[in-house]
Amino acid sequence: MRQIWDFHGGVHPPENKSQSTSRPIRKATLPRTLILPLSQHIGQPAKALVAPGQKVLKGEVVAAAEGPVSVAVHASSSGTVTAVERRPVPHPSGLSDICIVIETDGEDAWTHLTPCEDYRSLSPEQLLERVRQGGIAGMGGAGFPTAIKLHPPRNDKVNALILNAAECEPYITADDMLMRERADEVIRGMEIMAQLLEPEECLIGIEDNKPAAIAALKQAASGTHIEVVVIPTKYPSGGEKQLIKILTGLEVPHGKIPADIGVMCQNAGTAAAVYRAVRFGEPLISRITTVTGDGVATPGNFEVLLGSPMSDLLQQAGFDASKTDRLIMGGPMMGFTLTDPNLPLVKTSNCIMAVSAKEFPRPDPAQACIRCGLCAEACPAELLPQQLYWFAKAQEFDKAENYNLFDCIECGACSYVCPSSIPLVQYYRYAKNQIRVTAQEQQKSDKARERFEFRQARLEREKEEKEAKRKARAEAAAKAQAEKVAQQQDAPAEVDPKKAAIEAAIKRAQAKRAPAPAQAQAQAQVNIAELQTNVDKAREKLEKVRETLAESDGANAAMQEKLSNAIAKNEERLAAAEKALHDAQNSAQGTPAASNATPATQADPEQQARAIARTRDKIKTLTQAIEACRETDPQRAAQLTETVEKTKAKLAELEAESAPTDKAIDKPPEPNLEELTSQVEKARDKLSMMQGMLDDARAEQPADEAKIAKLQRAVEKNQDRLAAAQKTLEEARTQASGAGVKAASPEEIEALTSALEKAQDKLAMMQNMLSEAQQESPMDEAKVAKLSRAVEKNQDRVAAARATLNEARGDAAENQTSTDGAGA
């Protein structure tokens, strides 16, 4: 007699197995439709190889294994593929999955099979290949790909091959009946596995409540080195870890797999399937399934084609839906309920139970935990279930994890014995899930932070580069100007022919645009008007942000600080816009200076006066604001004071400027362009900042819809503003190039190119974000929609940038040609 060990805990629920063992295995009828889910195993779903309309034969591969851990799916009967689509599948979640639907033709015609009588002479590789082609996944319930399990890493020597025939769950008799009627196949299958793994011992663990199966196995195993070990009936002796403990006395270390201690467990049904695949080349297209419970008149076991609708199978056992309260796939301890009897039968469907409310009464309402400790006595993992329950209930997940929550095998023994009817396993599932979700979120946020930091660094770098470039450009321009002036002063006569030609060409071009001065002036007016709008808009924006700040008073310090920053930035922006306007007005004054005075000259001082008045108002408001918040929020008061100082400085500047209006008369048009460009950039910064604020607000206070709406409006307005500024810039550029003064210089083209590139980068990023969002949270439609809009907008922007660039290039080219022409 072989020594066996005991495992801690365990329970003895009523077995209720005799109902389904009184009849021999029946062959289920051929269903009209077969539904074959692509994922009937653990790992990656198989990849469908067939298309609707295609004819398939029984045993033909309809979906191939995809990726390292996957299993092929075979047609269970001959017929026509009618669809490859999402169908509800048997899964605790009740979700649907991709299935291949086959309309059977009733002929049940086999595809060509390659039997192998002399399989004992096959090499391990050949055997494994036959198992792989058989599409076999563990049939005990988990569904791990058998071919992969049978191929452990070289250094993991399997000392003990264990066949799990315990079938410890009440009601289920599929393995029992299989072993009674086909013990030979089981033993031969195990021999093949032994041939592959060359273990020192081959053990079959079987509970002592199956005397007929034990006798059949012992007879079939006589003369082999397989030992049938009868173990006491105790749930969950068929748990892999528990069975290993019973048969070998070893424990699978935490976080390891049985192969790490030289043990491998295979299910009895899997062994039979391996035998059929190796000996006859038959893939896994059918299995033995127990149909039992008070809801069926003739409970028993069926050999049923995979993909058959459960309703078909239930009908054959005399299903009475009116008697059925619960439909369960798997056993009563670990099985899950099904809401629909039309789900397909899969490789792991060892039992279908239709139970009445009398048989399985609905759970009592949970009473208080009295820490009686019955659960701890029943736990086969030797956990402290009541402590885990308290931790899960109090959401102290870290403590639950410390108490080895993840060693829980969810066997349900604790819930079974709990006198207070507490659904303990449910609490553990919940806690495990929460811990997993938290870990995922942590990972995600780490990644996001990395991404953000990287982006910040990039923006910073780009800003510096841009600044450096701008400086270089300004210097070059100044130098060129100086040289030009010097040249003109020094040797007006010494104009080289080429230059003369260029000048002539320019003059010609100007002449071509006959009403040049008038047009230029009109354009300048438009420009000024536009800039004015810009300034107004910027002001509006500033007011709005201030309002937001006032409203959010005391709400959130971080938010306030952010808003204060926003105000400061906006003020800067406003100042810049005003300055741009001012410059434009000056240059408008300057342009017509060549063709005598214009009305614009008169308008200018007025506007300046207005600006000054406005600035004074602003200072007044700010001072009041400072008074108001000096006591409540000194930090903000200080900030505001700073702003006032700045504004005062600006006022002084404005006042100084308003006096000598004609100071900037001969200012070249380039600064205007530059100003506009910087304005656009600033607006862009501003926009991205607002968007950041919006995102923050969403993340931090998703409930504060009013604020989010406001910020969203602000973002939209800013987007408009940015667009307007860009338009202005473009127009100014066109104007500049149209005027032929400086056409599109190489620098400008470069700037435009980099702008285009930037826009493209941004677009790519947005697209990334969109696809990520689509993958991660397909439910969050609002977010996805928003992102798609953003992507579209960015696409437009890229297109616009490209158009501008092309135009500029065209201009440059035109210029080039005209210059060349003139040169020739």
Partner 1 sequence: MAFLHITSPHLKGPARTTAIMQWVILATVPGLLTMTWFFGWGTLINVILASLTAVAAEAFVLTLRKRPLAFYLQDYSAVLTGVLLGLALPPYAPWWVTFVGTAFAIIFAKQIYGGLGNNPFNPAMVGYALLLVSFPVAMTTNWATPRPLAEIPGLVDAFAHIFWGAEIGVDGYTMATPLDTYKHEIVAGTSEAVFAMPVFGAHTALGWEWVNLAFLAGGLLLIWRKIITWHIPVSMLSAMALCSLLLGWDEDKYAPLQLHLLAGATMLGAFFIATDPVSAATSKLGKLYYGAGVGILVYLIRTWGNYPDAVAFAVLLMNFAAPFLDYYTQPRTYGHRKARRGVKQD
Residues 228-267 close enough to bind partner 1 by CB under 8 A: 241, 245, 251-256
Which residues, in sequence order, are bridge partners of residue 209? none
- What is the smallest separation between the CB atom of 725 and partner 1, expressed in angstroms? 55
Choose between 212 and 261: whose C-beta lies nearer to partner 1: 261
Q: Which amino acid is at 335?
A: G
Q: Could you give the angle at which helices 634-658 and 599-630 cross, rounded to 10 degrees?
A: 160
Q: Which is nearer to partner 1, 119 or 403 (CB)?
A: 403
Q: Whole-number minimum distance, CB 317 to partner 1, in Å?
A: 16
Which of positions 537-596 make contact with partner 1 (CB under 8 A)? none
Q: 87 - beta bridge partners?
A: 97
Which residues fall within 8 angstroms of residue 732, CB to CB, at 6 or more apart?
A: 527, 672, 673, 676
Site string for partner 1, 6-25 (x = CB under 8 A): -xx--x-xx-----------
Name residue, tokens 């270089």: 472
The DSSP bridge partners found for residue 231 are: 207
Amino acid letter, residue 527: N
In angstroms, the CA 163 to CA 272 distance is 11
Stretch that binds partner 1, among 204-212, 335-343, 613-621, 779-787 (CB under 8 A): 335-343
526 binds partner 1 (CB under 8 A): no
Residue 532: what residue type?
Q
CA count, 13 A, side-chain hemisphere, 623: 9
Bridge partners (DSSP) listed for residue 34 = 102
Measured distance CA(580)–CA(603) in Å, rounded: 16
Kind of pairing, strands 351-355 and 326-329? Answer: antiparallel
- The distance of closest approach from Cβ of residue 360 to partner 1 in the complex, given in angstroms and rounded to an integer, is 5
Among 57, 116, 122, 334, binds partner 1 (CB under 8 A): 334
Q: 49, 64, 369, 765: which one contacts partner 1 (CB under 8 A)?
A: 369
370 binds partner 1 (CB under 8 A): yes
- Which neighbouring-strand residues pair with 103? 33, 80
**Closest CB to partner 1 among residues 170, 300:** 170
Is there a contact between 46 and 68 (Cβ–Cβ < 8 Å)? Answer: no
In the complex, least distance from residue 347 CB atom to partner 1, rounded to whole angstroms: 20
Of 216 and 329, the one with the shorter C-beta distance to partner 1 is 329
Residue 77 sits at φ, ψ, to 5 deg, of: -155, 170
CB closer to partner 1, 91 vs 218: 91
Stretch that binds partner 1, among 104-112, 281-289, 318-326, 748-756 (CB under 8 A): 318-326
Please select the residue that binds partner 1; options are 22, 367, 395, 817, rule is CB under 8 A: 367
**Rounded-to-integer distance, Cα 204 and Cα 156, Å:** 21
Is 8 or 23 the residue whose CB approaches partner 1 more closely? 8
Residues 6+ apart with CB under 8 A from 191: 224, 226
Span from 395-403, 461-469, 481-489, 725-733 in contact with partner 1 (CB under 8 A): 395-403
Nearer to partner 1, 300 or 412 (CB): 412
Among 34, 89, 327, 744, binds partner 1 (CB under 8 A): 327
**Site membership for partner 1, residue 178 (CB under 8 A):** no
Does the protein bind partner 1 through residue 418 (CB under 8 A)? yes
The stretch among 102-110, 180-188, 300-308, 379-387 that binds partner 1 (CB under 8 A) is: 379-387
Secondary structure, 3-state, 681-708: HHHHHHHHHHHHHHHHHHHHCCCCHHHH
Q: Which stretch binds partner 1 (CB under 8 A): 402-410, 555-563, 622-630, 781-789?
A: 402-410
- Rounded to whole angstroms, the Cα distance separating 150 from 189 reads 12
Tell me if 451 contacts partner 1 by CB under 8 A. Answer: no
Shortest Cβ 248–partner 1 spacing (Å): 14
* Residue 421 within binding range of partner 1, rule CB under 8 A: yes
Minimum distance between the CB of residue 685 and partner 1, rounded to whole angstroms? 44
Residue 311, phi-psi category: left (phi > 0), alpha (psi -120 to 50), beta (remainder): alpha
Total residues contacting partner 1 by CB under 8 A comes to 78
- Interface with partner 1 in residues 699-758 (CB under 8 A): none
Which residue from 26, 32, 91, 399 is in contact with partner 1, where contact means CB under 8 A? 399
Return the number of the residue (61 or 89) whose C-beta is nearest partner 1.
89
Q: Residue 383, interface with partner 1 (CB under 8 A)? A: yes
Distance CA 664, CA 537 (A): 26
The CA distance from 162 to 154, in Å, is 19
Of the residues 429, 667, 698, 802, which one makes contact with partner 1 according to CB under 8 A = 429
Contacts of 105 (CB under 8 A, 6+ apart): 78, 79, 80
Q: Which of 196, 229, 313, 355 binds partner 1 (CB under 8 A)?
A: 355
Taking alpha carbons only, the member of 408, 438, 401, 407 closest to residue 424 is 408
Give 169 or 583: the residue with its C-beta nearer to partner 1: 169
According to the binding rule CB under 8 A, does residue 426 interact with partner 1? yes
At 104, the amino acid letter reads T
Residue 142 to residue 43: CA distance in whole angstroms: 11
DSSP 740: T
Question: Nearest distance from residue 42's CB to partner 1, in Å?
Answer: 18
374 binds partner 1 (CB under 8 A): yes
Among residues 114, 155, 339, 489, which is the contact residue for partner 1, using CB under 8 A? 339
Which residue in the set 182, 416, 578, 732 belongs to the binding site for partner 1 (CB under 8 A)? 416
* Amino acid at the residue 162: I
Comparing CB distances to partner 1, the nearer of 413 and 531 is 413
- Strand arrangement of the beta sheet that strand 226-231 belongs to: 226-231, 201-207, 160-164, 263-267
- Name the residue nearer to partner 1 (CB basis): 407 or 662: 407
Q: In this structure, what are the phi and psi dihedrals at residue 791, rounded to the nearest 5 degrees? A: -60, -45
CB of 234 to partner 1, least distance (A): 14
Is residue 325 near partner 1 by the rule CB under 8 A?
yes
Min CB(696)–partner 1 separation in Å: 32
* Binding of partner 1 by 362 (CB under 8 A): yes
Give how far the C-alpha of residue 137 lies from the chain's centroid of Cα atoms, to the nearest Å. Answer: 29
Q: Does 384 bind partner 1 (CB under 8 A)?
A: yes
Nearer to partner 1, 261 or 593 (CB): 261
Q: Are 808 and 749 in contact (CB under 8 A)?
A: yes
376 binds partner 1 (CB under 8 A): yes
What sign does the dihedral 677-678-683-686 (CA atoms) show? positive
b/e code 429-460 from CB counts within 10 Å (16+ = b): eebbeebeeeeeeeeeeeeeeeeeeeeeeeee
Identify which range of 26-34, 329-337, 452-460, 632-640 contacts partner 1 by CB under 8 A: 329-337
Least distance from partner 1 to the Cβ atom of residue 168, Å: 13
Span interacting with partner 1, options 116-124, 337-345, 512-520, 577-585, rule CB under 8 A: 337-345
Cα dihedral value 414, 418, 422, 424, nearest 10? -10
Q: Which one, 92 or 634, has the nearer CB to partner 1?
A: 92
Q: Which of 85, 103, 398, 464 binds partner 1 (CB under 8 A)?
A: 398
List the structure tokens of 790.
Answer: 């953003």
Least CB distance to partner 1 at residue 235 (A): 9
Question: Does position 361 bind partner 1 by CB under 8 A?
Answer: yes
Structure tokens at 2: 């072989």
Footprint of partner 1 on residues 81-120 (CB under 8 A)?
Answer: 92, 94
CA distance 541 to 562: 15
Which three-class secondary structure string do you get for 308-375? CEHHHHHHHCCECHHHCCEEEECCCCCCEECCCCCCECCCCCCEEEEECCCCCCCCCCCCCCCCCCHH
